[in-house]
Each structure stands twice: as C-alpha cells, then as structure tokens.
Chain A
Amino acid sequence: KAGVTQTPRYLIKTRGQQVTLSCSPISGHRSVSWYQQTPGQGLQFLFEYFSETQRNKGNFPGRFSGRQFSNSRSEMNVSTLELGDSALYLCASRDQGDRAEAFFGQGTRLTVV
C-alpha cells in the first residue's frame, strides 16, 4: 500500500495570504488527523476527520479549518497567515480500529514571510 501522501512538500507564503494543504491517507483508512510541528511546541493537534466529519478539534484559532472528502482525502486551510504559522504540518491516517496506530506523511513545510 502507498503511504500517506502530503502535497505540496514546501510552501512559502506572505502574511495575510491563505493556504491549502492536501493529504491522501493510506487506502482504506477513514481517519485523518492534522498536526502542527514546531521546535518549541512539538506536535500540536489541529483536528481529526472521520468519514467526512470533524471528530475532534484542538485549540487553534478559527483561521485553521479542514475538510474531508468522500474518498477520505483531506485538506487543511489556513487563512490570514501570520508569521507564527510557519511550521511543519503533518497529516496522519489511521485504520478503523479505535486503537490503531497512526501513519504519518512527510509533512508540508510552510514558511510565512
């Protein structure tokens, strides 16, 4: 099976712009989670989608949003970008079992200038 695929790998945006990141989970996985990874804060949970519904949400402002499509692919959108949004954004997919391990993508490196 192909692994979790995230596109694009790198992005440079300016403050105030918006950005959309994409994640294709492992085939058959219906749960997709998004994380923000920074050197100072580690892995911070953004949200999780399951069967096109947001199942869990972290403590991020409303500028961060996401969605999941019927084929389980997910997108994450950040509007009105701020310098502090610069980070590695990771996507992880899980199988249906509620204690299944998470499989991570390589991430999208977002730089806001």
Chain B
Amino acid sequence: QVQLEESGGGVVQPGESLRLSCAASGFPFNQSSFHWVRQAPGKGLEWVAVISYDGKITKYTDSVKGRFTISRDNSKNTVYLLMNSLKTEDTGVFYCARDGNLYCSGSTCTYFDYWGPGTQVTVSS
C-alpha cells in the first residue's frame, strides 16, 4: 500500500536550517510528483512546494522562495525539503503529499491523494 513517512523535523533557532525527508513506498516513485504542505499550530493548511516526477520542475509559495529547496532522489524513493534561514513563522507540522495525477509537471498537477503523518518543525529562540 502507498506509504509516505516524513522525518527530519526538530527545534531550531531563527536563521538556522533543517532538511526534511519524505520516504515513499508501495508505488512507482518515479511516476509521481510530490508536494510539501505545512500547518501552523491551530491553523489551516498551506501549500509550500511541489516537485515534478522527474525533478525538472519545482514551484514554491512566495513566502519560502529563496529559502526553501525541494528535491528528490529517485534511487532512494525520497523527497527532500531543505529549509534555510528559518523564521519563527515557519513553525508547524510539515506534510509530504503525493499528487493524484501521474507524470504531472507543475501546472498539470492536481489534488493530493496520499499524505504522510507529518513532522514537527519548531523555530524558536
């Protein structure tokens, strides 16, 4: 069955970095695009970034452009989110989600059909 498992969260100070990982299993990894979505404490969902199935297309929400980098390693069935220059407002649970459209690239990607359980990121001085 489809499984996504995030890791790498933790407590850091403002300005520091973290790299999140999302390990996938149970389906052909290289056919799927992936998203990161975050949820601040007690708040709603916010889309953060997407990477296409082949890694050639990436897109970001404006508030993380230049600070976050999404990438993937198809040999390890893993998606990453490198977060630099972290701010207190980046605090929240980060979810990895699979796009519901195979082989999608950015504008052809759709809804999120599977989600991981999430990993907590806390940015605090």
- Do A and B share a complex? no
Q: What is the interface of chain B, defined by CB distance below 8 A to chain A?
A: none
Q: What is the interface of chain A, defined by CB distance below 8 A to chain B?
A: none
